[in-house]
Amino acid sequence: MTLLQTDGLTKQFGGLVAVDDVSFEVDSGETRAVIGPNGAGKSTLINCITGALEPTAGTVEFDGQNITNLEPHETVQAGVSKSFQTASIFPSMSVRENVEIAALAAEHGSFQLNFLKRLSGFSAVHDTADQMLGAVDLLDSAGAEAGSLPYGDKRRLEIAIALASEPDLLLMDEPTAGMSPDETADTVDLVEALQEDLGLTILIVEHDMEIIFRIADRILVLNRGQVIADGTPEEVQQSEQVQEAYLGG
Ligand code: ADP
Ligand code: MG
């Protein structure tokens, strides 16, 4: 079943066409990857899906609903959540409170921090938070100040924050960027577990080819904003256009 579908999605920044007429779909339950050289338009594509950017043309459909021009908090409520949003962590709050606030923000469709702070700590939201912290293996640090976490744990907290809205589709933009080899391996295991155990559908941008070829069911390849290949890892690997784009041919 198709969960997400873009049709002719285009984003221009002035004269630059960062995302150029991109049509692709994500099936329910799959791990879908987007790859491409630096500046290919991967992040812009993701941000057009979340509503962080307004597309110049084209449509985004999610679960049968047109979500093209929704605000970011509305796409979260529709069931699309993105991890690795810069500054998504409140460093002076506890790890658990960070996830509680995210759960409440999704539920109430607003982000009035003082209002949400008053609601956090109630048992239902407390349970949701602990469930998500368990999923990313951070339950032991639930009471710690979020700002004090090591880098890899902070990135995992960001995943728990994204999960707090109980999304159907989780978007991840370069989740292993800046991580040590050990943190990278843990994150890859985590992404696989989220897909398998929680039945999440995942759309992931990642520059590490080894990771992508290991975890992705299907790969969309962008170059200069355009789709140059789309298919299974094997299909994409055999594409001449992909080899040219990566070898600079
Ligand atoms: P990727 O994530 O694949 O590295 P991006 O989507 O970040 O690529 O960027 C695609 C192109 O759009 C690049 O040429 C980049 O410089 C440009 N771009 C991205 N965001 C903006 C912006 N807010 N304003 C102007 N140009 C942008
Ligand atoms: Mg990017």
List, as ranges, residues with CB under 5 A of the ion ligand 2: 42-43
Residue 93 has pLDDT above 60, yes or no: yes
Confidence of residue 248 (pLDDT cuts 50, 70, 90): low
- Average pLDDT (217-232) is 97
Higher pLDDT, 102 or 7: 7
Residue with tokens 């630059």: 16
Q: For a pocket test of ligand 1, which of 9, 19, 44, 84 has the largest count of ligand atoms closer than 8 A to its C-beta?
A: 44
pTM: predicted TM-score of the whole model, two decimal places:
0.91
How many angstroms separate the alpha carbon of residue 17 from the centre of ligand 1? 9
Higher pLDDT, 210 or 202: 202
Q: What is d(CA 220, CA 229) in angstroms, rounded to the nearest whole number?
A: 6
Angle separating helix axes 95-108 and 123-135, nearest 10 degrees: 120
Of 21-25, 87-91, 152-156, 208-212, which gets the smallest average pLDDT? 87-91
Residue 249 has pLDDT above 90, yes or no: no
pLDDT for 207 equals 84
How close are the terminal C-alpha atoms of the chain, in Å? Answer: 37
Angle at alpha carbon of residue 176, lines to 174 and 181, rounded to 5°: 155
How many angstroms separate the alpha carbon of residue 44 from the centre of ligand 1? 6
- Average pLDDT (56-72) is 96
How many angstroms separate the alpha carbon of residue 139 from the centre of ligand 1? 36
Assess contact for 49 and 66: CB atoms under 8 A.
Answer: no
Q: Which helix (H) or strand (E) holds 170?
A: strand 169-173
- List, for residues 106-150, the tens digit of each pLDDT value: 877 666 666 666 666 667 788 889 999 999 999 999 999 999 999
Q: Is 220 in the pocket of ligand 1 (CB under 6 A)?
A: no
Residue nearest to atom 6 of ligand 1 (CA): 41
How many angstroms separate the alpha carbon of residue 114 from the centre of ligand 2? 32
- List, for residues 42-55, the tens digit of each pLDDT value: 999 999 999 999 99
Assess contact for 64 and 90: CB atoms under 8 A.
Answer: no
